[in-house]
Structure 1
């Protein structure tokens, strides 16, 4: 039995707890939150006996195997390092951290302490995304000329006001891109499989009273010469289904939360991927499905039992943050940034 602990019992913790409960070999063993009542509510729902308000005390438990880090983004790095030092495996919510320096500190700790780490980017488990990546890798779309992500969410001012860390550089690390859009940005770069070599962007708070961006547009150039576009916002009402459009010289793929809209290659019949469960959350963060979390939690269990790397190791988890930081820098400096 693989015993899990959760640090941070806010909204996303339920996705982790639900996922753990669905596995055969995993069990939620302990929960921790600085607000004890939050920890007690989660513990009661999942019949957990071990409740903490200090995560370092939780890490002293020799029966604990894996820790899910569900705290504000800017706290992930310190906690990942402490968990690794304690010899526990790590499941970390997105983003892995909010700066390149903090991501590198995590990687350094993992080189020192032999534990495994899974980053939560559940969109990578979507059937359409997996099939798209395979078609691109096989060269069946030809040269990629346009690859774009449209990430239009709705979060009202009350959402940002509901927790002091939301919409801050210090703990959120950014706004619509770093918090919500990071999933889509990770997926786009993973599917295309090319490095982004330059970006020119605009980002700002156009409708919300926050210090980070609620709206951003970014023009990308891929290593293979093609272009890309990322539109990310939390000001669109109602929130729209996330959508990806990838155009190669031989065909077009368009899909998102609403399913596949186009799946065409010149002179070739390709079967549509099976539709999976929508990940949700465009308008209500509490509506995010735990289906993708289950796949990644189960993968983490298998990685531990069979001593292999998890599906999304930290070397992968850091990539979206690097691109988002370049987008922010481009907007702030009003110039193209080369990566």
Structure 2
């Protein structure tokens, strides 16, 4: 840990700063720790936090491999503390509104889901899983890198995911190409037996024929700041409320911020862990859901390494891709990730 950075941030925000995690936990006695260190340190730090009986809000991804994630989950369970994971995109108002419309059956039974340049890696896998509403059965992936001008590299990931309820999901994401950040259309699409949802547009087959509807936010001024009050569906001028913003009074935006998600989704994550601690319930998303997202991401990478052969879910042994990740960890730190964790935490 860089003591200069700790001091600079602490002094800038007028908060205590530490370079020793255990000393911080003992002196400050926090209820919850926001674990937002690099992902390859999550499993080690989470165990230390849990052993001090402190609850955790963990940044994504939950860990670098499934064994590291399982190490965390076991530590948290043994300590009897709560752990929420900061998977944020499904918490945005527009996503929650889409989920609600699907639950109402506006497009019938879901058959296919597409994530095209919309969300990357485990974030994309999270949305695909939630829209499919089923457990994955297999993943077929192709992951490639392309050399660009001026020494830059472009990464492209593609996956086909088959779910147990026969829903098929397509994940296709290409890293932004400088200096053109988003040269391709970004969209989330959910197809059903009687319609489809594409971003904020809803196409539904009714007894009177096809209908095109649109999801849109209605804003209200709170102390001079425009904030979303609700998400409505616009049916040729007739507005129906789909979702009400529970955080309106906090003057938070639902627009995507630089780090992804929105301020509303951040508030929602904080409320999830707070409610879990106060009411002794489970967090809304939790570690097991985040593990599933990581598993699909790993399966996509593993399939690509195997020449794009399908990989069955659940993964039952350490994959070739995870072994590569562990080797890189050992080269970086001089220890194997789990040996390191056991040595440091006891």
Q: Same fold (TM over 0.5)?
A: yes
Q: Match for residue 168 of structure 1? A: none
CA shift, 1:273, in A, is: 5.7
- Residues 66-122 of structure 1: per-residue CA shift (max 9 Å, x gap): 111111111111111111111111010001112111111112112211111110011
For the pair 1:252 / 2:196, whether they are aligned, the reply is yes
CA shift, 1:289, in A, is: 4.2
Structure 2 counterparts to residues 202-241 of structure 1, below 5 A = 202-207=142-147, 214-236=155-177, 237-239=180-182
Aligned with 1:263 (options 188, 202, 208):
202
CA shift, 1:295, in A, is: 1.8
Q: Is this contact kept in 2: 1:127–1:273, CA < 8 A?
A: no
Structure 1 residue matching 2:268: 3-state secondary structure? helix
For the pair 1:46 / 2:23, whether they are aligned, the reply is no
Structure 2 residue matching 1:38: 3-state secondary structure? helix
Structure 1 residue matching 2:171: 3-state secondary structure? strand
Distance in 1 between the 2:281 and 2:175 partners? 37
Distance in 1 between the 2:115 and 2:33 partners? 31
Q: Match for residue 106 of structure 1? A: 72
Q: Match for residue 182 of structure 1? A: 122
Q: Match for residue 114 of structure 2? A: 148
CA shift, 1:60, in A, is: 2.0
Distance in 2 between the 1:279 and 1:87 partners? 34
CA shift, 1:147, in A, is: 0.2
Q: Is this contact kept in 2: 1:133–1:192, CA < 8 A?
A: no
Q: Is this contact kept in 1: 2:118–2:188, CA < 8 A?
A: no
Distance in 1 between the 2:206 and 2:46 partners? 49
- Residues 121-161 of structure 1: per-residue CA shift (max 9 Å, x gap): 111211222232233344443232220112368xxxxxxxx
Distance in 2 between the 1:57 and 1:148 partners? 47
Distance in 1 between the 2:185 and 2:87 partners? 17
Structure 2 residue matching 1:64: 3-state secondary structure? coil
Unaligned runs of 5+ in 1: 1-33, 154-179
CA shift, 1:271, in A, is: 7.3
Q: Is this contact kept in 2: 1:152–1:234, CA < 8 A?
A: no
For the pair 1:278 / 2:278, whether they are aligned, the reply is no
RMSD across aligned positions (CA)? 2.7
- Residues 288-336 of structure 1: per-residue CA shift (max 9 Å, x gap): 6443212211332232222222222111111110000100110000111
Distance in 1 between the 2:23 and 2:185 partners? 41
Aligned with 1:57 (options 11, 20, 23):
23
**Structure having the larger proportion of residues in strand:** 2
Structure 2 residue matching 1:111: 3-state secondary structure? helix
For the pair 1:337 / 2:276, whether they are aligned, the reply is no
User: 1:293–1:241: structure 2 CA closer, same or farther, 3 Å change rule?
Assistant: farther
- Count of aligned pairs: 269
User: 1:290–1:127: structure 2 CA closer, same or farther, 3 Å change rule?
Assistant: closer
Unaligned runs of 5+ in 2: 218-230, 232-252, 314-346
* TM-score (normalised: structure 1): 0.71
* TM-score (normalised: structure 2): 0.70
